[in-house]
C-alpha cells in the first residue's frame, strides 16, 4: 500500500496530538488494546481491524413521504386549515382591509385547486370505536404526558387528537402514528394470536416513529454484514420487508378504520423532496402556523412526547433562522452584490426532505467500549472516529447520484443565490462557495449577450426575461443534499473532527453564537460518529443517501461500499499510514474536500484545489487523477474533473483495499461501481430515476419541462409507479421466504408449524401469497386478507431476526 509521505515535518501539534506521540505511543497502544499485531501477516492484520470480515452490523432509518388522497371536504388537512383561528383571522383582517386580499385569495386558491386531490402530510380522522381494545389501550397510553407514569396526567395537547363528529368520538392522528395504531390493532385482533407474533409485533411497534414531519421507520434488528449473506444485501432485504409491512399496515388502516369509507386514502412511500404544494403553502402562511400543521406531535417513540415535539419545533426555528443568516454570508462572500434580494420565507421546509441513514457498527469496538477493563475508552473512540470520518469524506462523491439521487428541475427564476444555494454558506468556505456559484451559473447557461445574469426579483419580470432570452434554468442530480443542512463547518477556534473529546460541543456553542445552530441539536455531518455512550454501539452513520431506485440493488451495494471504505479508513489508521496531522482541521481544508461532494450533487464538471494543498490525503488521491491542469481563472489552483476524481478514488480503493476486497468478496461491487460512474452513467440511480420520471411525463429530456412540471411528475412517479414497483419487489422476496417457512413447518421446526396453522388455516404460506398477490398490488384486499398477510410478514421478519441472532456468520 502506498504510504502517504508528509511533505513537511509535523512540528505543530493538533490540540496536543502530534505524529511523534501517535507513532511512538498512541498507535502501538491502540493496536495492543485491540489485540492486533503489527507484525502479523497482512491477511491476519486486515481481518483483525474494525469493520473487516464478520465484524460489521448495519441498521437503517428510512424517512417516508405521507399523503392523503381525497376530496377537500373529507380530508383533515384542508378542514384543519379552514377551521383554524389563523385562517379565520386572516379572512376578517382581509375583509377589514388590514391585510391584502391577495393573502387570503392565494390561500383559498391553494385549498380549492388541487386536481389530484393529494394532500401532503395530512392527518387522518376516523371513529375511535373502530379500534379494538388493545389498540385503544395503546392510544390512551401514548396520550400520557410521561409514559413511565401510567397514573399520571395526559399531555396538555391531548385534545388535538380527539373530537366529536356526528355525536361520536373520533380520532385525528398523523399517518406516522396511524402505522403504530394499525399494528396494535393487528396484535389485538385475536386473543389466539401466536405468542411469537405478539412478541414480534410489540417489539416492532416501537420502530415506527412519530418523529419529524415525515413518517420514519428504523431497522427492527441490527443486521450482520457477512460475505455469506452478500454483505449489504442483508440490510436492504430488512428495509424492503419493513417498507412492505408499512404498505400493508396502511392498506389495513384504510379498510379497518374506515378511512376509504370516509373519503380518505392514506399512502406512504419513498420520496426525497418536500412536496411542491407544501413549499407553495409555506410561502402563504406564517412560520408558527406551518409548525402547527407539519411538526409531528411525537406521540410514540419517546416517553415524554411533548418535550420531543418542542424540540422538533426548535429544529425548525433554528434551520429557518440559519437560512436567513445565510443571506448575510452571501453578501460577505461577494455573491450578493446588490440590495435587491428575494428573502427566504420565515419558515424553512427542509425538514420535509426525506432520506435514508445507514448506520454501521463494529462488534470489536462495541465489545471494547462495553468492557470497562479493556483500557479502550471514550478518548480512543473519539480519536479514531473523527479521523475515520475525515478520511471517509474524501470518498463520499462516489455515492452521490450513483446509488441514490434526488433529480430536480430549477427554473431561471429559481436562481436567486439567497434561495438556491440553501445552507451552503454555512457548509463551505467563501472561496469554494464563490467557485461553486460561478461554475453553477455557467452550467445553467445564465448569460445574456455573453454576460452572466441572475433573476431580478419580481417573478413576472423573471419569467418574461426567461422567455425572451431562452434562459431555462438547470437540472441537478441530487437537490436534497443542497436543500438541507447536511454538514456544519468548523470554526477556526473549534474544529469538529480533531479527535478531541468535547470538540463537538465547543463547535455548537460557536455556531450558536453566530445564529447558525443550537447547542441542543445533534451535530450535522455527512458521516456521523455513533458513540457507544449514547447509542449502545460504536460505529458511524451515513446521512448522504437520498432516493434509492432499487432497494436491493442500490441500497445493498451502497451499504457494502460504505462498509469497505470504513474498513479501509481503519486500515489506513492502524497501519500507521494516516494520522490527524495528514488531514488538517481548519475550515478551509474541511471545505476543500466537501466542495467536491456538493459539486457532484449539482453536476458540475470540475472543481479547484490549491496546488500544494495541506490535505495530504486529498493530495494522495489527486496523484491518481488524470488530465489536471493549472487554472487560468484561479492562479495557484488545479482544475480537476469530477469524473476523473471519482475514477481515481475507485483506483485507490482497488489498490489500497485489495486485501479487504478479496477477503470480503467485493470484486463485483467495484465492477458495479465502475459501471455507475462511467461517462454514460446508465447504471447510476440518478440516470435510472430521471429516465423513469421522464417516461412518466412523456418527454425525452428534463429541460423540455418547466421546473414545476418535472418536479410534479417526479412526485407522481414516486407515489404511484415506484411505490408499486417496490411492493412488487417485496412480494418476490417474500415468495422465497414463505416457501422456506412452509418447509420449516413441514419439518416441524421451532414455532413455524403452529404459527402458520394459526394464520393460514392449513393453507401453505406460499399458496396464500400467490392467491392474494394481485389484490395487494391493486390495493383492493379486504381487511381479513390483509390481517393474515401482515401476520405472515411479521413471522417472516421474526424468523430473519432469530436466524440473524443464532448464526455467527450467517
| Whether residue 9 has pLDDT greater than 50 | no
Edge-to-edge, what's the strand order for the sheet holding 637-641? Answer: 606-610, 637-641, 629-630
759/788 Cα distance (integer angstroms): 6
> Residues 371-418: pLDDT tens digits?
999 999 999 999 999 999 999 999 999 999 999 999 999 999 999 888
Around 669, how many Cα atoms within 13 Å sit in the side-chain half-sphere?
33
495/492 Cα distance (integer angstroms): 7
Give the ranges where 552-641 is alpha helix by DSSP (H): 556-574, 587-602, 616-622
684/241 Cα distance (integer angstroms): 24
Which pLDDT score is estimated for 10? Answer: 35
> Residues 562-584: pLDDT tens digits?
999 999 999 999 999 999 999 99
Q: Chain-wide mean pLDDT for the chain?
A: 91
810/807 Cα distance (integer angstroms): 5
Which pLDDT score is estimated for 344? Answer: 67
Rg (CA), the chain: 27
> Residues 198-252: pLDDT tens digits?
999 999 999 998 877 789 999 999 999 999 888 999 999 999 999 999 999 999 9
Within a 10 A sphere around the Cβ of 291, how many other Cβ atoms?
18
> Residues 412-457: pLDDT tens digits?
999 988 889 989 999 999 999 999 999 999 999 998 888 888 887 7
Find how far residue 328's CA is from the centre of its chain. 28
Question: Which residues, in sequence order, are CB contacts of 125 under 8 Å at separation 6+?
Answer: 76, 163, 165, 170, 171, 172, 262, 264
Task: Tell me how far CA of residue 385 lies from CA of 367, 370, 516, 529, 579, in angstroms.
Answer: 16, 16, 25, 6, 12
> Residues 283-308: pLDDT tens digits?
999 999 999 999 889 998 889 999 99
- Check if the beta carbon of residue 134 is closer than 8 Å to that of residue 184: yes
Q: Is 406 helix (H, G, I), strand (E, B) or coil?
A: strand
Which pLDDT score is estimated for 750? Answer: 62
Least trusted range by pLDDT, from 301-305, 454-458, 708-712, 749-753: 749-753
Which pLDDT score is estimated for 15? Answer: 39
The candidate with the shortest Cα–Cα distance to 622, out of 596, 587, 661, is: 596
C-alpha cell at 571: 486500515
Give the ranges where 498-581 is alpha helix by DSSP (H): 503-513, 532-535, 556-574
Within a 10 A sphere around the Cβ of 808, how many other Cβ atoms?
8
Edge-to-edge, what's the strand order for the sheet holding 65-69? Answer: 118-120, 65-69, 265-269
726/731 Cα distance (integer angstroms): 9
485/313 Cα distance (integer angstroms): 16
- Percent of the residues in the chain that have a pLDDT greater than 90, as a whole number: 75
Which pLDDT score is estimated for 13? Answer: 31
| Whether residue 325 has pLDDT greater than 90 | no
745/519 Cα distance (integer angstroms): 54
Q: Is 65 helix (H, G, I), strand (E, B) or coil?
A: strand
By DSSP bridging, strand 123-127 and strand 637-641 are unpaired
> Residues 93-121: pLDDT tens digits?
988 888 888 889 999 999 999 999 999 99
SS3 content of the chain, % helix, strand, coil (to 5): 55, 10, 35
Section 775-786 average pLDDT = 95
Q: Is 312 helix (H, G, I), strand (E, B) or coil?
A: helix
- Check if the beta carbon of residue 440 is closer than 8 Å to that of residue 604: yes
State the virtual CA torsion across 725, 727, 732, 738 in degrees, nearest 10. Answer: 180
Burial of 167 (0-12, 13-18, 19+ CB in 10 A): exposed
Task: Tell me how far CA of residue 88 lies from CA of 85, 94, 95, 164, 674, in angstroms.
Answer: 5, 10, 11, 21, 58
- Check if the beta carbon of residue 703 is closer than 8 Å to that of residue 680: no
- Check if the beta carbon of residue 810 is closer than 8 Å to that of residue 804: yes
Question: Which residues, in sequence order, are CB contacts of 198 under 8 Å at separation 6+?
Answer: 187
Within a 10 A sphere around the Cβ of 536, how many other Cβ atoms?
12
C-alpha cell at 89: 383571522
- Check if the beta carbon of residue 271 is closer than 8 Å to that of residue 263: no
State the virtual CA torsion across 655, 660, 663, 667 in degrees, nearest 10. Answer: -50
614/602 Cα distance (integer angstroms): 26
- Check if the beta carbon of residue 248 is closer than 8 Å to that of residue 92: no
Question: Which residues, in sequence order, are CB contacts of 228 under 8 Å at separation 6+?
Answer: 809, 810
Which pLDDT score is estimated for 98? Answer: 84
Task: Tell me how far CA of residue 494 lies from CA of 11, 488, 497, 506, in angstroms.
Answer: 20, 12, 9, 6
| Whether residue 340 has pLDDT greater than 70 | no
- Check if the beta carbon of residue 376 is closer than 8 Å to that of residue 34: yes
> Residues 135-169: pLDDT tens digits?
999 999 999 999 999 999 999 999 999 999 988 99
pLDDT-derived band at 5, boundaries 50, 70, 90: very low
Q: What is the DSSP letter of 144?
A: B
751/196 Cα distance (integer angstroms): 8
Question: Which residues, in sequence order, are CB contacts of 96 under 8 Å at separation 6+?
Answer: none
The candidate with the shortest Cα–Cα distance to 224, out of 782, 666, 784, 803, is: 803
Q: What is the DSSP letter of 405?
A: B
Within a 10 A sphere around the Cβ of 178, how many other Cβ atoms?
28
- Check if the beta carbon of residue 564 is closer than 8 Å to that of residue 570: no
- Check if the beta carbon of residue 60 is closer than 8 Å to that of residue 209: no
C-alpha cell at 504: 463537538
Q: What is the DSSP letter of 395?
A: T
Amino acid at each position: 500500500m502506498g504510504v502517504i509521505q508528509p511533505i513537511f515535518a509535523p512540528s505543530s501539534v493538533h490540540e496536543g496530538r502530534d505524529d511523534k506521540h501517535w507513532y511512538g505511543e498512541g498507535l502501538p497502544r491502540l493496536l495492543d488494546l485491540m489485540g492486533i499485531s503489527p507484525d502479523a501477516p497482512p491477511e491476519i492484520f486486515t481481518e483483525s481491524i474494525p469493520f473487516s470480515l464478520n465484524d460489521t452490523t448495519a441498521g437503517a432509518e428510512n424517512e417516508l413521504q405521507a399523503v392523503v388522497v381525497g376530496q377537500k371536504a373529507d380530508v383533515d388537512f384542508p378542514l384543519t386549515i379552514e377551521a383554524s383561528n389563523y385562517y379565520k383571522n386572516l379572512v376578517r383582517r382581509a375583509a377589514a382591509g388590514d391585510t391584502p386580499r391577495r393573502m387570503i385569495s392565494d390561500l383559498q386558491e391553494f385549498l380549492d385547486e388541487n386536481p389530484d386531490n393529494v394532500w401532503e402530510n395530512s392527518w387522518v380522522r376516523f371513529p375511535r370505536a373502530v379500534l379494538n381494545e388493545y389498540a385503544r389501550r395503546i392510544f390512551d397510553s401514548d396520550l400520557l404526558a410521561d409514559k413511565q407514569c401510567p397514573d399520571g396526567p395526559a399531555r396538555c395537547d391531548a385534545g388535538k387528537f380527539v373530537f366529536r363528529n356526528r355525536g361520536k368520538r373520533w380520532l385525528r392522528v398523523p399517518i406516522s402514528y396511524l402505522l403504530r395504531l394499525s399494528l396494535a390493532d393487528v396484535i389485538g385482533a385475536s386473543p389466539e394470536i401466536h405468542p411469537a407474533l405478539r412478541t414480534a409485533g410489540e417489539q416492532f411497534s416501537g420502530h415506527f416513529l412519530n418523529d419529524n414531519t415525515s413518517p420514519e421507520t428504523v431497522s427492527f434488528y441490527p443486521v450482520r454484514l457477512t460475505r455469506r449473506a452478500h454483505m449489504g444485501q442483508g440490510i436492504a432485504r430488512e428495509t424492503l420487508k419493513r417498507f412492505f409491512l408499512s404498505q400493508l399496515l396502511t392498506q389495513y388502516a384504510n379498510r379497518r378504520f374506515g378511512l376509504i369509507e370516509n373519503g380518505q386514502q392514506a399512502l406512504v412511500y419513498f420520496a426525497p423532496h418536500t412536496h411542491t404544494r407544501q413549499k407553495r403553502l409555506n410561502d402563504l402562511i406564517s412560520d408558527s402556523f406551518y409548525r402547527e400543521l407539519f411538526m409531528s406531535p411525537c406521540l410514540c417513540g419517546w416517553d415524554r412526547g411533548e418535550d420531543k415535539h418542542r424540540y422538533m419545533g426548535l429544529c425548525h426555528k433554528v434551520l429557518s433562522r440559519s437560512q436567513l443568516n445565510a443571506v448575510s454570508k452571501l453578501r460577505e462572500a461577494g455573491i450578493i452584490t446588490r440590495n435587491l434580494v428575494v428573502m427566504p420565507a420565515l419558515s424553512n421546509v427542509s425538514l420535509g426532505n426525506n432520506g435514508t441513514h445507514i448506520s454501521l457498527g463494529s462488534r470489536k469496538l462495541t465489545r471494547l467500549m462495553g468492557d470497562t477493563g479493556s483500557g479502550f475508552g471514550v478518548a480512543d473512540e473519539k480519536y479514531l472516529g473523527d479521523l475515520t470520518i475525515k478520511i471517509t469524506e474524501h470518498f463520499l462523491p462516489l455515492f452521490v447520484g450513483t446509488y441514490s439521487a434526488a433529480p430536480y428541475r430549477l427554473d431561471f427564476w429559481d436562481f436567486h443565490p439567497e434561495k438556491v444555494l440553501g445552507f451552503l454558506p454555512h457548509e463551505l468556505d467563501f472561496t469554494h462557495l464563490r467557485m461553486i456559484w460561478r461554475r453553477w451559473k455557467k452550467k445553467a447557461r445564465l448569460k445574456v449577450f455573453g454576460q452572466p445574469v441572475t433573476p431580478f426579483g419580481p417573478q413576472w419580470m423573471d419569467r418574461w426575461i426567461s422567455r425572451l432570452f431562452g434562459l431555462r434554468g438547470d437540472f441537478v442530480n441530487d437537490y436534497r443534499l443542497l436543500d438541507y443542512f447536511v454538514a456544519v463547518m468548523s470554526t477556526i477556534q473549534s474544529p469538529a473532527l480533531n479527535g478531541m473529546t468535547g470538540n463537538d460541543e465547543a463547535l455548537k456553542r460557536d455556531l450558536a453564537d453566530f445564529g447558525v445552530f443550537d447547542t441542543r441539536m445533534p451535530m450535522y455531518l455527512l458521516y456521523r460518529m455513533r458513540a457507544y455512550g449514547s447509542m449502545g454501539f460504536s460505529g458511524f452513520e451515513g446521512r448522504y443517501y437520498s432516493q434509492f431506485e432499487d432497494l436491493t440493488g442500490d441500497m445493498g451495494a451502497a451499504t457494502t461500499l460504505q462498509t469497505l471504505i470504513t474498513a479501509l479508513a481503519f486500515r489506513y489508521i492502524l497501519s500507521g499510514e494516516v494520522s490527524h496531522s495528514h488531514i488538517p482541521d481548519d475550515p478551509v481544508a474541511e471545505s476543500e474536500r466537501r466542495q467536491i461532494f456538493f459539486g457532484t450533487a449539482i453536476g458540475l464538471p470540475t472543481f479547484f484545489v490549491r496546488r500544494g494543498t495541506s490535505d495530504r490525503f486529498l493530495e494522495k488521491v489527486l496523484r491518481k487523477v488524470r488530465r489536471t491542469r493549472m487554472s487560468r481563472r484561479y492562479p495557484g489552483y488545479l482544475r480537476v474533473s469530477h469524473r476523473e476524481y471519482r475514477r481515481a478514488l475507485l483506483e485507490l480503493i482497488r489498490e489500497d483495499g485489495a486485501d479487504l476486497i478479496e477477503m470480503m468478496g467485493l470484486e463485483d461491487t467495484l465492477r458495479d461501481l465502475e459501471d455507475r460512474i462511467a461517462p454514460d452513467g446508465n447504471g447510476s440511480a440518478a440516470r435510472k430515476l430521471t429516465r423513469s420520471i421522464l417516461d412518466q411525463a412523456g418527454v425525452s429530456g428534463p429541460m423540455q419541462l418547466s421546473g414545476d412540471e418535472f418536479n410534479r411528475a417526479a412526485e407522481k412517479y414516486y407515489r404511484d409507479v415506484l411505490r408499486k414497483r417496490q411492493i412488487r419487489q417485496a412480494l418476490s422476496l417474500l415468495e422465497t421466504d414463505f416457501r422456506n417457512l412452509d418447509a420449516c413447518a413441514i419439518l416441524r421446526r421451532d414455532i413455524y408449524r403452529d404459527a402458520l396453522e394459526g394464520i393460514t388455516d392449513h393453507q401453505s404460506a406460499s399458496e396464500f401469497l400467490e392467491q392474494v398477490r394481485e389484490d395487494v398490488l391493486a390495493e383492493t384486499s379486504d381487511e381479513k386478507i390483509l390481517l393474515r398477510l401482515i401476520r405472515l410478514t411479521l413471522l417472516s421478519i421474526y424468523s430473519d431476526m432469530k436466524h440473524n441472532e443464532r448464526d455467527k456468520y450467517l
